[in-house]
Structure 1
Amino acid sequence: MSKADEEEKARLERAQAIGLFRYMLIREAADPSLTSRQRGALVRKLAAEPHTDPDGRVVRLTRWTLDRWIALWRREGFDALVPSPRQSQPRTPPEVFELASALKKENPARSAAQIQRILRAQLGWSPDERTLQRMFIRTGLTALHAPIEPAAFGRFEAGHPNEMWTGDALHGPRIDGRKTYLFAFIDDHSRAIVGHRWGFAEDTVRLAAALRPALAARGIPQYIYVDNGSAFVDSWLLRACAKLGIKLIHSQPGRPQGRGKIERFFRTVNGEFTVEIAAGDGEVGRRITDLAEMNRLFTAWVETVYHRRTHSETGMAPMARWMEGAPFPVPAPGDLAEAFRWSEHRTVSKTALVSLHGNRYQVDPALNGRRVELVFDPFDLSFLRVRVDGGDAGTALPFQINRHAHPKARPEIPAQTPKPTTGIDYLGLVDRHHREDLAARVNYAAFGYDPPEAQFFDEAFPDGRIPDPE
């Protein structure tokens, strides 16, 4: 056998091995008896796990690739899973991969794009950038990093009050077995607490309960600096800040630098406020009976203790330093209400209807097929404003209402649904009838004589003995 024939045979064998590898992966998921949901679960599981290919490499496959193989097998059988013998051979020579690996090890800071440029300059051509990236991942070279000097962070302080507020959430003690959360915003310049609110959930509704009164009373800051918690990345907060002209800034994941002031305040809260109301097991003591009382006591502590005490860093009381920049412009009530409404985008159907969380609304027929913005109060879905390209387009009239509040707009204390009852006390009725029967009977002993039946037996059987019938 010639060398060319041996190479062709090797290519055929490798192609068959690849086809068999693909079939072994999808054989369970390709079972026609499975439902779409069952097949989807199997495909997701396969996509989440690493697999060893015929070359011994550990590879991961996307759901799209697995679905494509299943479709090919169902349409054309096993042969459709076998690649062309020419395509089954690696297209990049091993020596090129070795040179790329050497370049990466030589300088771990080099990206795949940079190594591609070096190879192209050295060899006249280069594999695709994505091919190099996959090779680096497969061989573990992506774990190499250039030496990084430890970052040095200088101390930062805003130049004036209301330049920047920093917001965060604190996990607090429990009330009646329910965990509490504190949303708070601190002015970076003065360290004054401009807004705060204790709640039973760490969500956007409780965040709004802390931020909205702060804006109404303390004015509008230039920046609000927050982390990447779910409440702080919600589209509602971005819309509210955009409406009021506030620049919303999120810290980089894994880099909490810049939120030290609010974290220091939370340590003060735990050391001076929470410790006075929490028992050793974390349960709130008897002084705190409900959330309203906790918020009232916390407001009193912030205003009379924290705001009036000289801050160790600034040398001034937080509120006194914040007042140095007064007065601050506050938003108009209408503008504030508009900013704190929620909005979602929908496409108007051919029948001039839009759907929102199970409800359907009638809009202007001229908007058929248009993409519109629905603006609403999250606690009242019976009234929606319609916006098109930023302009007002009337209201959306309720057509079918199944939900009266947004799914995320959970009340502070969930309403207790009364258990349906007929109001009928069966045992009470039985007892009453029994007592009525007893009252209706004549008590002969109470009258001092025997009933007629008793007199008959006394006369017939004076000795009280009833003879045997025989």
Structure 2
Amino acid sequence: MERARQIGLFRYMLIREAADSSLTGRQRGALVRALAAKPHTDPTGRTVRITRWTLDRWISNYRTGGFDALVPSPRQSQPRTPAEVFDLARALKKENPSRSASQIRRILHAQLGWAPDETTIQRLFRREGLTALSAGLVEPAVFGRFEADHPNEIWTGDALHGPRIGGRKTYLFAFLDDHSRAIVGHRWGFAEDTVRLAAALRPALASRGVPQHVYVDNGSAFVDSWLLRACAKLGIKLVHSAPGRPQGRGKIERFFRSVTEQFVVEIASGDGVPGRQLTDLAEMNRLFTAWVETTYHRTVHSETGHAPLARWLAGGPFPVPAPADLAEAFRWSEHRTVSRTGLVSLHGNRYQVDPGLVGRKVELVFDPFDLSFLQVRLDGVDRGTALPFQISRHSHPKARPEVPAQPPAPTTGIDYLALVDALHTAEIAQKVNYAALDPTPSPVPDDDVDDHTTD
């Protein structure tokens, strides 16, 4: 089921622009022809080409059934070639790099009695870098300057490692509008995870509108299935930068440099450097918002020649998503098979669902911070709610709230060891020297008496 959802997301991101209802037939045809003319990388990493007929079919399915219509059945999404065959093909290629795909196919056929076609093996080698590289120097890549044509066309997201607050490291999630350089969303947190990312992105979408594209790197928070689902539900095309090619994120990296030089530098680091001593994240986020809105957004940008906020507002107004649509997009979902007793399990909890779903694989949609209420869906159709049967966990394991630094516990001021020492000292002072109090003089030894007499 998870593989099927990944295929659905791949299809959606491919046809999202061409499925826009505002396009004319001529415009849509040009987009579809362009997509069919170039190769694409599918969820398994293979390089594939999609025919125009297939793209038109996906667009039609999306218009009639939405995102769920792009998700194939689990049977259709299963790979045709067993993983063991691919493992053997890799080993044969690494054993002797001069072997061609056709030669390895012959070896596989002789060993196993059958083999995948030569093109499949060649795609495997090309995908994993096992194809022999051509000799000679490679021309360095040339990168031109790029800027989005209007606000909310592209948002670039990234994370910055910040200072320590209360002994804990902080992280800043921020989203920058490519056209105006305005910061549309931001959030400081104690973790670089999905929850903190959502805390930055969700208010941005609610107040700034929905962008056409969101451009991010391949960090764990940015490749989480939650973000893919949220973007698909809101019609956003999520784009990940190629590994080792960070050139497209230069604008937000430049913003992070401004954050470090103008904001972070004013925070006390605890190593003797003077600065504002922050006590909690709420204060840090409040001060950062003040700096963004009063300083960064009002300073004329050296590249655009305009203040970021003024340039963003000039392209408005921007429609914002309905609260219900936004809430649905930011819910999480997982798939479970209903047991014979009509129960499903989710992270240690058990829930009662419709008995008619016994043996079926259903989708559980929920708020990660509240596992007491789950919506049940089958093939995208609502099938009621899951009633809590046994609850031991009230939030998702990844939904870790920001726990404020605990103030030091009040002390009594009692130093037990000092009390013991004082008692011991007093006892020593009160001891009586009985030898000094005895009035009887000590006898003098005979050896000490003078041996003489007087006349």
Shorter-chain TM-score range: 0.5 to 0.7
Range with greater deviation from structure 2 (286-295 or 327-336):
286-295
Equivalent position of 2:101 in the other structure: 113
Is 1:259 aligned to 2:253, yes or no? no
Q: Secondary structure at the match of 2:326?
A: helix
1:388 to 373, 378, 385: 378
State the TM-score, normalizing by the size of structure 2. 0.61
Equivalent position of 1:461 in the other structure: none
The alpha-carbon deviation at position 147 of structure 1 amounts to 2.9
Q: Deviations over 1:429-451 (max 9, x none)?
A: xxxxxxxxxxxxxxxxxxxxxxx
Structure 1: how far apart are the matches of 2:273 and 2:374? 42
**8 A Cα contact 1:176 1:283, kept in partner:** no
Q: 1:327 to 1:368 in 2, by over 3 A?
A: same
Equivalent position of 1:340 in the other structure: 330
**8 A Cα contact 1:343 1:375, kept in partner:** yes
Rg (Cα) greater in structure: 1
2:306 to 316, 325, 345: 316
1:217 to 199, 204, 207: 207
Q: Deviations over 1:34-85 (max 9, x none)?
A: xxxxxxxxxxxxxxxxxxxxxxxxxxxxx989xxxxxxxxxxxxxxxxxxxx
**8 A Cα contact 1:185 1:194, kept in partner:** yes
Equivalent position of 2:163 in the other structure: 173
Structure 1 residue runs of 5 or longer lacking an equivalent are 1-62, 66-90, 92-96, 105-111, 118-127, 420-470
Amino acid aligned to 2:247:
Q
Structure 2: how far apart are the matches of 1:239 and 1:304? 34
The alpha-carbon deviation at position 324 of structure 1 amounts to 1.1
Structure 1: how far apart are the matches of 2:220 and 2:173? 13
2:262 to 264, 272, 275: 272
Map 1:367-386 to 2 at 5 A: 367-386=357-376
The alpha-carbon deviation at position 280 of structure 1 amounts to 7.0
Equivalent position of 2:239 in the other structure: 249
**8 A Cα contact 2:375 2:386, kept in partner:** yes
The alpha-carbon deviation at position 281 of structure 1 amounts to 3.2
Equivalent position of 1:358 in the other structure: 348
**8 A Cα contact 2:101 2:121, kept in partner:** no
Is 1:189 aligned to 2:179, yes or no? yes
**8 A Cα contact 2:163 2:269, kept in partner:** no
Structure 2: how far apart are the matches of 1:339 and 1:277? 36
2:284 to 294, 298, 313: 294
**8 A Cα contact 1:173 1:282, kept in partner:** no
Amino acid aligned to 1:314:
T
Q: 1:285 to 1:291 in 2, by over 3 A?
A: farther
The alpha-carbon deviation at position 273 of structure 1 amounts to 0.6
Is 1:206 aligned to 2:196, yes or no? yes
Q: Secondary structure at the match of 1:212?
A: helix
The alpha-carbon deviation at position 276 of structure 1 amounts to 1.0
Amino acid aligned to 1:251:
S
Amino acid aligned to 1:113:
A
Equivalent position of 1:161 in the other structure: 151
Q: 1:401 to 1:146 in 2, by over 3 A?
A: farther
State the TM-score, normalizing by the size of structure 1. 0.59
Q: 1:278 to 1:287 in 2, by over 3 A?
A: closer
Q: 1:116 to 1:407 in 2, by over 3 A?
A: closer
Q: Deviations over 1:338-393 (max 9, x none)?
A: 11111101111111110000000000001111111100010110000011111111
Q: Secondary structure at the match of 1:259?
A: helix
Q: 1:213 to 1:283 in 2, by over 3 A?
A: farther
Alignment size in residue pairs: 303
Equivalent position of 1:458 in the other structure: none
Structure 1: how far apart are the matches of 2:269 and 2:189? 19
Structure 2 residue runs of 5 or longer lacking an equivalent are 1-82, 86-91, 106-116, 410-455
Q: 1:142 to 1:415 in 2, by over 3 A?
A: same
Equivalent position of 2:396 in the other structure: 406
